[in-house]
Structure 1
Amino acid sequence: MPLDILISFFGVSILLALSPGPDNIFVLLQSALYGAKVGFFIILGLCTGLIFHTLLVTFGVATLIKTSPTAFLILKIIGATYLLYLAYLTAKSKPMTLDSSSQKTNSPLSYGQYYRRGILMNVTNPKVTLFFLAFLPQFLYSSSITATQQLISLSALFMLATFITFNTIAYFSGTFGRIIKQSPKAQYILNIVTVIVFVGLAIKLFF
């Protein structure tokens, strides 16, 4: 993978992992309540679930590239439209808050149960597949390597970025929790940056 593609893809992946959403907010809340180790097992489950979406998208997109350029073009248009829709949702989202009464308590579930919950959350979310369809193909970087191999490499890099970012959120859950409670402006700025990224990716995908 060319260094410029690796850096840009990894950087965007980290930014998207930081952008407030159901997964990282769930990791934040559970880590703030029960500790970073609980957050780690949830993250492990979420990243395991990404394998399902990776396989679905990788072989589906690779088949389209080989068999039908027209169908792949339609897929790109749908993907770009979906990215613009995500930008719209991000732009109109309200700042999230963390219950100020939250205090760290003993976990009611085992680590294995948190791991399975993370897998279930990810696998049953069709938006992850749609996002992968919109996001991954535009970073294909070589004509001499199969699309399948490239998409698997990109997916693995995305998982690594998600794993590192989410674990950072879990580890610093107290600090992040205070930011979310006390600084809606910080969320607003992050949302604006995310909107710009989504719109930029959509434009890139269109053309």
Structure 2
Amino acid sequence: MFGIHDLGLFMISGLLLNMAPGPDSLLIVTRSAAQGWRAGSAAALGIGSGTLIHIIAAALGLSAILATSATAFSVVKYIGAIYLLYIGIGLLLSKSAAVTSVDDVVLAPLSLRRIYVQGFLTNVFNPKVAIFFLAFVPQFISPQAENKALAFILLGCIFNLNGMLWCHLLAVTSAMASQRLQASRAVSQWLNRLIGALFISFGIKLALVDR
């Protein structure tokens, strides 16, 4: 159908790739642990929206510009790196706020809308996602397909759906684990710093990546 082949393999591979740890999943875990599964789901929806932008751009050939233009790739890369560094530094400098007692603490709460935007920007300004779709998805489209763009979008949406299922599961399980683990103020503060350091490392890694 639409020139797509090995759909089962594509779905399994896509799910495994979505489960690989990265800044997207880290953002979901962080927000779910701090504000509950709704916050994690808001981050996941933002990430899914960013992925959809990459899918459409790749299908229209816009992502090919990132693959062939060093300037375009560098601009998007550095914007994404700066944003990851911004999140990481914010976590490093954040102070935990008491909620139910002196010992029960969370990150300073954000609106669901702002969390959604965080997820969207974290994903959409990562040029590696665009390059990934250009490299991965065409392997499952027949060279004889009549409408390759339509087949690309369909496969991309399937990939995104798998990713959303995993991301929402991650949000729920992270929120449940956070409720069971009542961290002390000191532990929570160090956890924020650790996660902030991870975001900074992702930002530095993105800034140093080559096309």
Map 1:57-206 onto structure 2 (within 5 A). 57-60=58-61, 105=106, 108-141=109-142, 143-173=144-174
Give the structure-2-normalised TM-score: 0.59
Counterpart residue identity of residue 135, structure 1 = F
Runs of 4+ in 1 over 3 A off after TM superposition: 1-4, 101-107, 174-178
- CA distance in 2 between counterparts of 1:175 and 1:5 reads 36
Q: CA deviation at 1:121?
A: 1.1
SS of aligned partner of 1:109: coil
Structure 1 residues 62 and 17: CA distance shift in structure 2, 3 A: closer
CA contact (8 A) 2:11 2:162 kept: yes
Map 1:26-41 onto structure 2 (within 5 A). 26-41=27-42
CA offsets 1:11-56 (integer angstroms, 9 cap, x no match): 1111111111111122112111211100111111111111221122
CA contact (8 A) 1:122 1:128 kept: yes
Residue of structure 2 equivalent to 1:24? 25
- CA distance in 2 between counterparts of 1:149 and 1:5 reads 17
Structure 1 residues 137 and 46: CA distance shift in structure 2, 3 A: same
Structure 1 residues 155 and 104: CA distance shift in structure 2, 3 A: farther
Give the structure-1-normalised TM-score: 0.60
Percent identity between the aligned chains? 32
- CA distance in 2 between counterparts of 1:18 and 1:176 reads 18
Over aligned residue pairs, what C-alpha RMSD do you find? 3.3
Q: CA deviation at 1:60?
A: 1.2
- CA distance in 1 between counterparts of 2:126 and 2:107 reads 28
CA offsets 1:79-108 (integer angstroms, 9 cap, x no match): xxxxxxxxxxxxxxxxxxxxxx99663752
Q: CA deviation at 1:141?
A: 3.9
Where does structure 2 lack aligned partners over 5 or more consecutive residues? 69-95, 97-102, 181-211
Where does structure 1 lack aligned partners over 5 or more consecutive residues? 64-73, 75-100, 179-207
Structure 1 residues 46 and 112: CA distance shift in structure 2, 3 A: same
- CA distance in 1 between counterparts of 2:145 and 2:4 reads 17
